[in-house]
Chains A and B, each alone.
Chain A
Amino acid sequence: MQVYEIKKDIYWVGAVDWLVRDFHGYSTYKGTTYNAFLMFDEKNVLFDTVKHNLCSDLVHRIRTLTDPEKIDYIVVNHVEMDHTGCLPEIVELVKPEKIICSKMGHKNLLAHFHRPDWPYHVVENGETISVGKRSITFIETRMLHWPDSMFSYIPEEKLLISSDAFGQHLGTSERFDDEVDESELMYQAKKYYANILYLYSPQVRKLLKSVAEAGLEIDMIAPDHGVIWRKGPDKILKAYEDWSHHRGTKKALVIYDTMWHSTEMMAKAVADGLESTGISVKLLDLAVNHRSEIVTDVIDAKGICLGCPTLNNGLLPRMAGFLMYLRGLRPAQKFGFAFGSYGWSGEAVKHMNKAMEEWKFELVHEGIKVKYVPTHDDLKRCKEAGQLMGKKIIEALEDQA
């Protein structure tokens, strides 16, 4: 099996997952990779492992380079099982002198594998250890995206091994950013941010600031998923800066579900209103768009319109599920508007408004409810609400500029 030397004596030894299409509810149509890195020095260090079912790929790649027992340290940057699933097998094989992790990493490893007998070595935030000609500095990145997450930085190589941050679910035979299609890469990086990190945007901003202040020299960022940023580490850092600041663009989404096409007609009218003001609009039916793709569009949209008819005094389950998912990702700094048809009680709009109020969205309108089937006048009101949102977005972006 192929190994890739990413820096002198530092190899990619991970695994490509060509099969995964659903990552705990996140659609991964391009598969993914679980990246692990092996650094040779006076002490040989393995950074992270792979998902359990791909353990033999990792072992095979390690063996093409060395006898596993020659590995001295295993660094666990993140305890989630896509990076530690085969840790028990690897520990057995390697018999490491140290398993290096953060304080929370130690706790979480114990809670996953129940092995108090392993040779843990807990590092403090900012601690540096020497491995010979080179050293490793550990930077705690709690909640990016688990309490145990940390970065490993090798100053002599200007290499940042960044765990899940800056990753992408993109399974390829290529290992570097300059070898794959750029727009696909940036889309997958954005999708990863939206689904995994969006809720921790305040922590991302803080981290970027502290990395800049510490003056870390970085010419390569190696995340644990997808390709390695060697051409464009600045590009992904800048993208994270934008996404974490909730910098909306001239873009709005009309996200809806419908029973008998009434709410769909309203959705089209709202979108028409937005479009007439020069806003870029996406009409997203929850029946055909995956939630993890929709939230990818949410992060740079300035306006969110939600449409849903009332079913049994509540929301259709697809909208309810979507709101639950989006709520967890903590969207912020957007305009909102809710609409929907109903037969007799009509609670759906109230539920959607309540959700958006909780997220502190600025509601541009009290919401529009239509009994059974919209009339011409109803659709005109929907279009006007869309126009109102369009104008608000344009004004807000002018103020921001």
Chain B
Amino acid sequence: MKQYRCTVCGYVYDPKNGDPDNEIKPGTSFEDLPDDWTCPICGASKDQFEPAE
């Protein structure tokens, strides 16, 4: 599963780890994150993420 990088702060969402701060279970793909999910570091919305190289 693809990793996505926050264009505001540089945080990388790794599906392997999920996002425990926002109660996202490990194994959740970026696409499957809820629409109102935000970056755990800076609060940026999902559309401010891009695929990480």
> A-side interface residues toward B, CB under 8 Å?
104, 140, 142-143, 147, 200, 202-203
B residues near A (Cβ < 8 Å) are: 8-9, 41-43
6 smallest beta-carbon distances between A and B, as pairs: A142-B43, A143-B42, A142-B42, A147-B41, A147-B42, A143-B8
Q: Are B41 and A104 in contact (CB under 8 A)?
A: yes
**Interface pairs (16), CB distance under 8 Å:** A104-B41, A140-B43, A142-B41, A142-B42, A142-B43, A143-B8, A143-B9, A143-B42, A143-B43, A147-B9, A147-B41, A147-B42, A147-B43, A200-B8, A202-B8, A203-B8
CA distance A45 to B43 in the complex (A): 28
Question: What distance in Å separates the Cβ of B34 from its nearest Cβ neighbour in chain A?
Answer: 19
Smallest CB separation, B37 vs chain A (Å): 15
- Residues of chain A lying within 8 A (CB to CB) of residue B43: 140, 142-143, 147
Bound CA–CA A140/B8 (angstroms):
15
Q: Provide the residues of chain A in CB contact with B41, threshold 8 Å.
A: 104, 142, 147
Cα separation A104 to B41 with both chains bound (whole Å): 7
Residue numbers in B under 8 Å from A147 (CB-CB): 9, 41-43
Inter-chain contacts of A104 with B (CB < 8 A): 41
- In the complex, which residue of chain A has the Cβ closest to the Cβ of B7? A202
A147→B42 CA distance, assembly (Å): 5
Shortest Cβ gap from A138 to chain B (Å): 14
Give chain A nearest CB distance to B7 CB in angstroms. 9
Q: How far is the CA of A143 from the CA of B43 in the complex (A)?
A: 9
Of all chain B residues, which has the CB nearest A202?
B8
Smallest Cβ-Cβ distance to B43: which chain A residue: A142
In angstroms, Cα B24 to Cα A96, docked, is 35
- C-alpha spacing A142/B42, complex, angstroms: 5
B53 to A: closest C-beta gap in Å: 13
In the bound complex, residues from chain B placing their C-beta under 8 Å from that of A143 are 8-9, 42-43
List of A residues within 8 angstroms of B8 by Cβ? 143, 200, 202-203
Please indicate the chain B residues that have their CB under 8 angstroms from the CB of A140 in the complex: 43
Closest CB in chain A relative to B41 CB, distance in Å: 5
State in angstroms the CA–CA spacing of A147 and B8 once bound together. Answer: 10
CA–CA, A143 and B7, complex, Å = 12
Complexed CA–CA distance, A202 and B41 (Å) = 17
A358 to B: closest C-beta gap in Å? 13
Residues of chain A with a CB closer than 8 A to B9's CB: 143, 147
A367 to B34, CA, bound (A): 46
Q: Closest B-chain residue to A200, C-beta based?
A: B8
Most B-side CB within 10 Å, residue of A140, A143, A202, A203: A143
Rounded to whole angstroms, the CA-CA distance of A142 and B41 in the bound complex is 8
B41 nearest CB neighbor, chain A only: A147
Instruction: Return the chain A residue nearest B8 by Cβ.
Output: A143
Q: Can you name the residue of chain A whose Cβ is closest to the Cβ of B48?
A: A202
Contacts of B42 in A (CB 8 A): 142-143, 147
